[in-house]
Structure 1
């Protein structure tokens, strides 16, 4: 049985977004999301073999009418699905997404996929996703994992002291979210 689900496991830490629109981060990690789904290591392997990063769609908020860029690379590592992408700033939707991302308003990723194989962990109540067919990765402001935020924006802060203050503020905010 297959099932389509958008907005599942989404933690992103966008390492940077520059004026070229290039950025990187985690589209999915191996933690549990708000829907009680947990992607297991290796779940993306078959999908990425059949559909390399360039063929996975980059959308905004899972809207197929909002193609905003291209994925340059996608690979699983010990933390999750690490991706590199480029927003197409020559389009209206791309320019808007790029501006929102640089401002920190569009700060998370979310995956859209079909479940190929899963099992339930009755003890934890989690659905363990063993094999998924990755269809798209969206930039979003409302991820299933609310702690999934952009950690650094390249080329927007030219004052190192201001950058340090911003990092400290973000770390305090993340710590406060963790206590809730």
Structure 2
């Protein structure tokens, strides 16, 4: 059990992509940089910010071994694994290959139809800076344990799935996914 493991969630910006290879990829910003989030957890209530560079060591040491889970559930099989993790100006960009399993296929369909539209990271803080009142925390290094598809996010619209691709040709941009949801709400 990871005693200091915490979770931070962000909404997805969905984009479904297709290529000639039989890959099922979900991609997006898993954690935004420099975007304060209001946190209310077992650690207390505070504002948290992740700085660029916080994921560098994880990416270097174990980037391709980071798993994609559903709802942070470690009791079931993972949905996939990272094929790309990199720090970009807006945050930690991640691409995950979704496994050809029943759970993987179900998760991919839930992302496609907008039901699962948020990402969350599970991590341990390695290096952090608190203000004097302990109401603001800045994370400068974290050990990324996993990324999960979840229902609700801590970082608002800043961390999101920007896309997905599959060999079946099913493609849906973030705008199309939002429009689809608006149409469903009207009906």
- Residue by residue over 1:131-165, the C-alpha shift from the partner in whole angstroms, topping out at 9 and shown as x without a partner, is 100110111122213435556676255xxxx9498
Does residue 56 of structure 2 align to residue 45 of structure 1? yes
In terms of fraction of residues, the more strand-rich structure is 2
Cα RMSD between the aligned structures?
Answer: 3.1
In terms of fraction of residues, the more helix-rich structure is 1
Match for residue 4 of structure 2? 3
Does residue 82 of structure 2 align to residue 71 of structure 1? yes
TM normalised by structure 2 equals 0.73
Does residue 138 of structure 2 align to residue 128 of structure 1? yes
Runs of 5+ in structure 2 lacking a partner?
40-46
Runs of 5+ in structure 1 lacking a partner?
171-180
| Count, aligned residues | 162
Partners of 2:135 and 2:92 lie apart in 1 by 23
Does residue 104 of structure 2 align to residue 94 of structure 1? yes
How far is the alpha carbon of 1:87 from its aligned partner?
1.2
Match for residue 25 of structure 2? 22
Higher relative contact order (CA 8 A, sep 6+): 2
TM normalised by structure 1 equals 0.76
Asked if structure 2 preserves the Cα contact closer than 8 Å seen for 1:11 and 1:29, the reply is no
Partners of 2:66 and 2:153 lie apart in 1 by 19
Asked if structure 1 preserves the Cα contact closer than 8 Å seen for 2:29 and 2:93, the reply is yes
